[in-house]
């Protein structure tokens, strides 16, 4: 019981440390650091370069030295591979919003070895086993943390299935946490809100995924995701612009194994279509698929309408209708 009390006391101290408010002096220092040395006082340029060999901050535009002999905050050691980097590093993983405790809690390793790498004696292994078990239990202390832990693991699962980058996962976790803080989860499924947060994060980071793609990897319907997304975007004041067809082009071209020339031509076709307002009121995936279909023909890397439709997740009829509109309005001659 003494071990349990000790662990609980350590947990409470850690929580108090996290909630500690920064002093006014520290806030002023942070504010000054954020605002200073971002603009050149001579020419007003923001293009500042750190010269680490001379320890100087130099304006790229006029050459003025803004700061000198600054401290290099990087590591003093060098590493040439992953193993060396792990061995020489003296710090833990960075803070992340994708873990319910932001990655700030401790973890007792499963290997029965001490800090010097020596094996733990059989006499102390039972004690270590109990400590490990209670550490796992007190990491998730109440219902809110349990909810958050489940939701963030669900977010990570869906993001992995869709192959989304790290910044999208972090953004989705922040949106979900905001929804929890404003009590928007009540009366809605955790999976539905998590899927809606992921969809919003994809749009915010310009890595668009359709509702159908999100629904495929989630455990809720497309209709519920759309309804929940509209609700949380309204309540949280998320100002998201309509998805551009250009954002879909790199992914579709990669799925069709097309060269960069085809992608560049498809983007140019979509830019011309946007200038003439041919993309408004039409699904972005269908317009992007039609532009790629036209570009593949013009570049000599022909792909069939069925192949493009399968990658884009639209029907062949949609591609036919859109590519005829684009070819007619933009005066593109296509030889089939």
More confident residue, 249 or 113: 249
**Residues 286 and 275 sit within 8 Å (Cβ to Cβ):** no
CA distances, 110 to each of 92, 125, 127, 135, 298 (Å): 17, 11, 13, 12, 59
List pLDDT tens digits, range 41-64: 888 888 888 887 788 888 988 888
Above 90 in pLDDT, residue 154?
Answer: yes
Above 50 in pLDDT, residue 22?
Answer: no
DSSP-based helix, strand, coil % in the chain, nearest 5: 55, 5, 40
List pLDDT tens digits, range 69-82: 877 777 778 888 88
CATH architecture of 143-236: Orthogonal Bundle (1.10)
List pLDDT tens digits, range 179-229: 999 999 888 999 999 999 999 999 999 888 889 999 999 989 999 999 999
Q: What is the distance between the alpha carbons of residues 6 and 2, in angstroms, rounded to a whole number?
A: 6
DSSP state of 25: H
| Mean pLDDT of all residues belonging to the chain | 83
Q: Which residues pair with 58 in a beta bridge?
A: 49, 65
Structure tokens at 93: 């993983």
Q: Which residues contact 149 (CB under 8 A, 6 or more apart)?
A: 100, 140
More confident residue, 109 or 228: 228
> Residue 25 — pLDDT band, cuts 50, 70, 90?
very low
Domain map (residue ranges) of the chain = 44-73, 143-236, 245-330
Please report the pLDDT score of residue 200 as a whole number: 94
Please report the pLDDT score of residue 33 as a whole number: 46
Q: Is 62 annotated as a binding residue?
A: yes
Above 90 in pLDDT, residue 323?
Answer: no
DSSP track, 136-164: HHHHS-SHHHHHHHHHHHHHHHHHHHHT-
Domain 245-330 in the same topology as domain 143-236:
yes
Fold of 245-330: Cyclin A; domain 1 (1.10.472)
List pLDDT tens digits, range 115-128: 777 888 888 888 88
Q: Tell me what the mean pLDDT of segment 18-38 comes to.
A: 47
Most confident of 45-59, 92-106, 144-158: 144-158
List pLDDT tens digits, range 260-279: 899 999 999 999 998 888 88
| Across 18-27, 74-83, 84-93, least confident range | 18-27
Q: Is 40 annotated as a binding residue?
A: yes
Please report the pLDDT score of residue 201 as a whole number: 94
């Amino acid at each position: 019981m003494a071990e349990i009390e000790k662990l609980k006391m350590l947990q409470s101290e850690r929580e108090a440390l996290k909630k500690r408010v920064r002093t006014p002096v520290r806030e002023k220092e942070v504010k000054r650091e954020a605002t200073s040395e971002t603009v050149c006082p001579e020419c007003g340029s923001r293009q500042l370069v750190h010269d680490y060999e001379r320890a100087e901050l130099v304006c790229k535009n006029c050459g003025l030295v803004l700061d000198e002999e600054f401290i290099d905050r990087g590591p003093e050691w060098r590493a040439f591979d992953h193993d060396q980097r792990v061995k020489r590093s003296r710090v833990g993983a960075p803070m992340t919003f994708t873990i319910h405790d932001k990655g700030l809690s401790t973890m007792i390793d499963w290997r029965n070895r001490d800090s010097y790498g020596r094996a733990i004696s059989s006499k102390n292994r039972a004690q270590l086993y109990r400590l490990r078990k209670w550490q796992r239990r007190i990491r998730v202390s109440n219902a809110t943390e349990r909810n958050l832990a489940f939701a963030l693991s669900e977010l990570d699962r869906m993001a992995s299935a869709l192959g989304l980058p790290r910044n999208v996962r972090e953004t989705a976790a922040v949106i979900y946490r905001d929804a929890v803080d404003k009590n928007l989860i009540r009366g809605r499924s955790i999976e539905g809100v998590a899927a809606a947060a992921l969809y919003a994060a994809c749009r915010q980071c310009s890595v668009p995924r359709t509702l159908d793609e999100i629904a495929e990897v989630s455990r809720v319907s497309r209709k519920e995701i759309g309804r929940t997304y509209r609700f949380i975007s309204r309540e949280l004041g998320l100002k998201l612009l309509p998805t551009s067809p250009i954002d879909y082009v790199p992914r579709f071209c990669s799925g069709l194994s097309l060269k960069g020339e085809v992608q560049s031509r498809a983007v140019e076709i979509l830019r011309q279509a946007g200038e003439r307002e041919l993309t408004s009121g039409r699904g972005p995936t269908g317009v992007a698929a039609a532009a790629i279909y036209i570009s593949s023909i013009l570049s000599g890397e022909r792909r069939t309408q069925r192949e493009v439709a399968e990658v884009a997740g639209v029907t062949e009829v949609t591609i036919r209708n859109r590519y005829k509109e684009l070819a007619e309005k933009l005066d593109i001659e296509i030889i089939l």
